[in-house]
Every structure is written in C-alpha cells, then in structure tokens.
A = this chain, B = another copy of it.
Amino acid sequence: MSKFMDVHRGMSGISAEDLNQAHQADLQIQDEEGVVFEHAWADPETGVVYCLSEAPTADAVQRIHQRAGHPADEIHAVSLEV
C-alpha cells in the first residue's frame, strides 16, 4: 500500500454536501480496489479538491473515482510525509 494525493479541478462552487456525497460514493466502493480514502479538502472558490488515500496503485485510486463519477485530474504517489 502506498499513499496518494489526487487532485480534481473545475469544482468551483462545490458545497459541503457535494463534497460529502462524493466522498461517500468513493467509500462505498473503495474496498473493491483495496483503496482507503482518508481525507478530502476542497476550495470552492478556485474549484480544487484534494483527496488523500492509501491504495495499492494510482490506477486503483482512479478506478474508484471514475466509477464514483469524478475522475481525478492528477494522482501523485506521495511517498514522503512529515
């Protein structure tokens, strides 16, 4: 398992409910790819959303996000953390 930070753009105006629903949609199917979504943060003004996860691969993260209806624009393996 590795840690990933993925980025979604074009989400201007996202509400707390939107973010929660999107996160719940990920959580409902994440086990099927062995992904654990830990946190998500959103900036409604610039429309950027960051998701932190533990997953076997970046592709596994993307498959969950795609199936949940919100593919990521970038996925980075963040192998270092402080």
Chain A residues close to B by CB (< 8 Å): 3, 5, 14-16, 19-20, 23, 39-46, 48, 50, 52, 76-82
Chain B residue at minimal CB-CB distance from A46: B76
Give Cα distance in the complex from A42 to B42, angstroms: 19
Q: Which residues of B contact A45 (CB under 8 A)?
A: 77
Q: Which residues of B contact A46 (CB under 8 A)?
A: 76
| Complex contact A5–B43 (CB within 8 A) | yes
Chain B residue at minimal CB-CB distance from A3: B41
| Complex contact A43–B77 (CB within 8 A) | yes
Say how far A21's CB is from chain B's closest CB, in angstroms: 10
| Complex contact B40–A79 (CB within 8 A) | no
